[in-house]
Amino acid sequence: MWAIYRKEIQQFFGSLIGYLAIVVFLLVLGLFIWVFPDTSILTYGYATMDSFFYIAPYVLIFLIPAITMRSFAEEISTGTIELLYTRPVTEMQIIAGKYLAALTLVTVAIFPTLVYVVTLYLLAKPVGNIDAGGIAGSYFGLLFLGAVFTAIGIFCSSITANQIVAFIAGVFLCFFLYLAFDYIAQFGAFVGKLDYWVEYIGLSAHYNAMGKGVIDTRDVIYFLSMIALFLLLTQTALSSRRW
């Protein structure tokens, strides 16, 4: 597994893919958080990173499928997937290696945004007057959300040999699981507490819950379950190609 992981990391950072992903992520968020007046922290009048944690998931919805689209689609289209099967690694180890490499890149992209927290800390009056618990919880939620999006992207890459199709499918599925259940619940199509449970299925409900600064084990279990589900679906999709 670690050989696959190292190979993927070297491919990410041995070309422009890794650096481009990080630069695009930071540039887009930087423009929204500091430059565009409608979402700029500087125009809020108080020290908060709400706009950052609101916008970041939408950027990740497009960024992560762009990172993961080649993971298996390229291997399938070039036929090198067969070479991977000849190595002394299991199918799940191959999946885990590629997943962890993509997740590492996502984490590296998110890490520099901690500079925003330091900047906000210094800009606050008095200095340090920020909701540290809420920010920490939101960062945990963002990392878990990125981990789920990565698993979804890996799955979408495993079901097609076309990287563009994998990207589009990844964006659609990430967007759907993040927002669709909220919209369905808001329509009031269900009676009583069913609206709550429909909304609870979606990713955003658990992401927003972590943003309150409380790390609930139910939210953690939900995110880990979603990751496991899509990695198992990836294994099923790859196994079906060998039958």
pLDDT digits (tens, 9 = 90+) for 66-99: 999 988 988 888 878 777 777 788 889 999 999 9
Polymer length of the chain: 243
Name the nearest CA neighbour of 30 among 130, 124, 141, 116.
116
Looking at residue 18, its amino acid is G
Q: How confident is the model at residue 236 (pLDDT cuts 50, 70, 90)?
A: very high
Helix, strand or coil, per DSSP, at residue 88: coil
Preceding amide of 112 cis, omega within 30: no
For 186-221, the pLDDT digits (tens) are 765 555 566 667 777 889 989 988 888 778 899 999
Helix, strand or coil, per DSSP, at residue 193: coil
Name the nearest CA neighbour of 19 among 31, 29, 11, 30.
11
Name the nearest CA neighbour of 71 among 84, 55, 53, 89.
84
For residue 27, give every residue at least 6 positions away whose Cβ sits within 8 Å of its Cβ, in sequence order, or none.
none
43-67 burial code (b ≥16 CB/10 A, e <16): eeeebbbbbbbebbbebbbbbbbbb
Judging by beta carbons within 10 Å of its beta carbon (0-12, 13-18, 19+), is residue 89 exposed, middle or buried?
A: middle
| Chain-centroid distance, C-alpha 240 | 26
| Chain-centroid distance, C-alpha 46 | 28
- Taken in order 93, 94, 97, 102, the sign of the CA dihedral is negative
Segments making up each domain of the chain, as ranges: 2-240
| Contact in structure between 4 and 89 (CB atoms under 8 Å) | yes
Asked whether the predicted pLDDT for residue 21 surpasses 90, the reply is no
Asked whether the predicted pLDDT for residue 33 surpasses 80, the reply is yes
DSSP-derived letter for residue 214 is -
pTM of the entire structure? Answer: 0.92
